[in-house]
Structure 1
Amino acid sequence: MAAAAALSRLARLGSYGIRRGRGLMFNRIQRRGIAACVDPSTGLTDEQKEFQKVAFDFAANEMAPHMAEWDQNEIFPVETMRKAAQLGFGGIYVRPEVGGSGLSRLDTSIIFEALSTGCTSTTAYISIHNMCAWMIDTFGSNELREKFCPDLCSMEKFASYCLTEPGSGSDAASLLTSAKLQGDHYVLNGSKAFISGGGDTDVYVVMCRTGGKGPKGISCVVVEKGTPGLSFGKKEKKVGWNSQPTRAVIFEDCAVPVTNRLGSEGQGFNIAMKGLNGGRINIASCSLGAAHASVLLARDHISVRKQFGETLSNSQFLQFKLAEMATRLVASRLLVRQAALALQEDRPDAVSLCSMAKLFATDECFSICNQALQMHGGYGYLKDYAVQQFVRDIRVHQILEGTNEVMRMIIARDLLTES
């Protein structure tokens, strides 16, 4: 029923036509079509194909023409994201009664892959925003859900996820931001690092220490922008992901109502990890979109670029490289979608599969984008060509939502644990 309602919304709003534009040069790709062997709609239901088509059209029409500008000028494209929210992309897997689309994790992966072909950086932020909205919807009280979720799903307000600290990245359970109970408030002190949207967003889902050392001493609270004691560091200068601001989030005697806590006291680390399982699929899906676009850009480039009297597409070496790229893309996509199904079904292998999908897809898709840049030759290093931006934007996917080294640890731990 939720999927049908979301599909009805998309049908009412209509899909987007392709508009001539600079930036990604995605229009040429759309006109040429997509080879069957890498077609991302293979195996999808009719409903999923419709979601995907709307997302692809939105990416080509509303995102791709502005992708280079957003990157160059470090623009956080608020109005474009609100247009995406009108299509149901602000709370894709949030329940419909608080404004969400109520779709599955697989539906979500399909949508993020398609959107990422238009701007990976912006789509990655949308995926983090969706994760935050889902955490409030899943673990918040009815009052919190009704207060925050509708505005988050419409993207009238934007959310940030606050786990990483200057001294605790991969070792998230050692975080130090404290939350001391004083009456009916927690008083927060500490700081968070590398927060996507930090300073420009309205709602902060914060992991903080309410108890002793280790994961069981961590709780999760929602902090609103404007709360006394909440401030932000300087805007970071990054290699990629420039369409979303990144800042430190700082708490100095920041008083937050106890009623803003998600779940019970001490449940925060578990909430954070459940959020990250989905986040890992989301970011892997964004990697798929960047790789998909890069494969097509490389294909088109070598089909027209001539060297030694013939097009590069006649080189067997480059033909083989393109074949390898396509194979890695499809293998990554299959693993990501299998992990999405496992998470949706709450299967015992879900955590490991999410880690495998994140590890494999982000490594392989970065390799695909990097190879696509190489196949462009010197042109690939020019900012007039979109492939270099995909390389820059996708590189961080191997680090965030748990580094790929941590993904290996999770998978190995599961393998070595006796059932």
Structure 2
Amino acid sequence: MSHPGPQPVERQLPTEEARDLLALVREMAQREIQPKAAEEEDAGHFPRDVFALLSRSGLLALPYAEEFGGGGQPYEVYLQILEELAAARLTVGLGVSVHSLACHALAGFGTKEQQAAHLPAMLGGGLLGAYCLSEPAAGSDAASLRTRAARDGDTWTIDGSKAWITHGGVADFYTVLARTGGEGPRGISAFLVPGDAEGLTAAPPERKMGMKGSPTAGVHFDGVRVGDDRRIGEEGQGFAIALSALDSGRLGIAACAIGVAQAALDEALAYTGGRRQFGRPIADFQGLRFMLVDMATQIEAGRALYLTAARLRDAGLAFSKQAAMAKLFCTDTAMRVTTDAVQLLGGYGYTVDFPTERYMREAKVLQIVEGTNQIQRMVVARHLVGPESR
């Protein structure tokens, strides 16, 4: 019996323009990203040239307004493009998601003057952004952050340290959350800090089990001075800005997770259709066929969940609960699917000669970033039954 092998994912794209965009991304991924992914990840090489190409192609700016150089695409389209990029190489897909997250504060809460001054370069000028919220002692409890910004007339001086910053040390700009008032979430403000600001330094990148090509580093602020024209939103509004950004960022992580899971399923389908044992392809054996079915079903369910949340966002409706659900379900799916893909390839799946072991290592971090999956369960529970009693 012959087996057709993996087929291209059928996308739910609303316009001909979006379908053309997807075709462009698939061609670019197959030509420029996927062939070098394994080698460059093994070497820990950050593909800055790929991000420059994406910027020139308008792919770093898809969900933002055309007025400032954005792509003007709905989140429903942007996330499916993100999934394609992550399937080719998670370092690239996640990097685009983080860049988009770093632009969110200015695009959503900046003044028209701030947006006109900075957004065109951020969205299409070859720049790359990073998002500075987490700290060594403020992870899930982000409202307890200690990095402080002190005002002196029309300038602010920022002191403190951020941790686990994707693109730390290579970003051209940082969206930074810092304390400008008292304790708790109402004392936090947001700032746009240039990557070359005096007093801003990055620690050596963390040594990670996966995504070795994506630098994750601590970022230190030692008397970094920025003008008040780089404060985004009102004083004390920073935590609300951060939460708004994270709702959208969680959808980016969900789409990336489904991209990794789809890549793992495609590898498993190709291998089980070609590997023969006992005189026939191992894809003929019911136990393995059912594993493939479960993997495909989980992926389709995850994709439907993140698209539902995206359509709510595009319609201007509340989507925080669905974003948390999507991040939770899709990243757990990626972990299950990549683990099963390694199992389906047997000993080969455990070797670096096949990409499944890399997919499995990369999937793990997606259950942690943008709020751990335990935090996502807390977010969803609050929507369902209200806040916890104290």
TM-score range (shorter-chain normalised) is over 0.9
SS where residue 88 of structure 2 aligns? Answer: coil
Task: State whether residues 5 and 273 of structure 2, in contact with CA within 8 Å, keep that contact through their aligned partners in structure 1.
Answer: no
* CA distance, structure 2, for counterparts of residue 42 and residue 184 of structure 1: 48
**Aligned residue pair count:** 385
Cα distance in 2 for partners of 1:319, 1:113 equals 25
Give SS of 1:90's match: coil
The residue that corresponds to 1:413 in the other structure is 382
Q: Which residue of 1 aligns with 2:153?
A: 183
1:131 equivalenced with 2:131 (yes/no): no
Superposition pairs of residues 129-278 of structure 1, within 5 angstroms: 129-278=99-248
Q: CA offsets per residue over residues 150-189 of structure 1, 9 Å max, x none?
A: 2222252111000000001000111110111112111111
Whether the 8 Å contact between 1:94 and 1:101 is mirrored in structure 2 is yes
Which residue identity does 1:314 align to in structure 2?
D
* Residues 1:373 and 2:342 aligned together: yes
User: What is the aligned partner in structure 2 of residue 9 from structure 1?
Assistant: none
Matches of 1:270 and 1:368, distance apart in 2? 34
Alpha-carbon distance between aligned partners in 1 of 2:297 and 2:374, rounded to the nearest angstrom = 24
Aligned partners of 2:63 and 2:73 also within 8 Å: yes
Distance 1:154 1:384, change over 3 A: farther
Partner of 1:302: 272
Partner of 1:386: 355
Structure 2 contact 6–269 (Cα < 8 Å) conserved: no
Deviations 1:8-39 (A, max 9, x none): xxxxxxxxxxxxxxxxxxxxx9x95517xxx3
Q: 3-state DSSP class of the match of 2:77?
A: helix
* 1:348-367 equivalence runs, <5 A: 348=318, 350-367=319-336
Q: Are positions 1:34 and 2:3 aligned together?
A: no
Letter of the structure 2 residue corresponding to residue 310 of structure 1? R
1:120 shift after superposition: 1.2
Distance 1:244 1:146 in 2: 30
RMSD across aligned positions (CA): 1.7
- 1:241-273 Cα offsets, whole Å, 9 max, x none, are 222111100011211111101111111001111
**Equivalent residues of 1:56, 1:117 under 8 A apart:** no
**How far apart in 2 are the matches of 1:314 and 1:278?**
41
> Corresponding residue for 1:71?
41
Contact conserved, 1:122 with 1:241, CA < 8 A, in 2?
no
Where structure 2 has 5 or more consecutive residues not aligned to the other structure, the ranges are: none
Q: Distance in 2 between matches of 1:226 and 1:46?
A: 41
SS at match of 1:132: helix
Among candidates 291, 298, 310, match of residue 340 of structure 1:
310
CA contact (8 A) 1:336 1:357 kept: yes
Counterpart secondary structure, 1:117: helix
Q: Extract unaligned runs of 5+ from structure 1.
A: 1-28
Whether the aligned pair in 2 keeps the contact of 1:210 and 1:265 (CA below 8 Å) is yes
Alpha-carbon shift at residue 134 of structure 1 (Å): 2.9
The Cα offsets for residues 116-175 of structure 1, whole Å up to 9 and x where unpaired, read as: 111012210111101212322222223332332222222521110000000010001111
Relative to 1, partners in 2 of residues 1:278 and 1:55: Cα closer, same or farther, differing over 3 Å? same
Kept in 2: contact 1:63–1:119 (CA 8 A): yes
Q: In the alignment, is the contact (CA less than 8 A) between 1:162 and 1:207 conserved in 2?
A: yes
Q: Distance in 2 between matches of 1:179 and 1:196?
A: 22
TM-score, structure 1 as length reference: 0.88
2:29 is aligned to: 59
Q: What is the DSSP-based 3-state SS (H/G/I as helix, E as strand, rest coil) of the residue aligned with 1:256?
A: strand
- 1:47 is displaced (CA, Å) by 3.5
> Residue 88 of structure 1 aligns to a residue in which SS?
coil
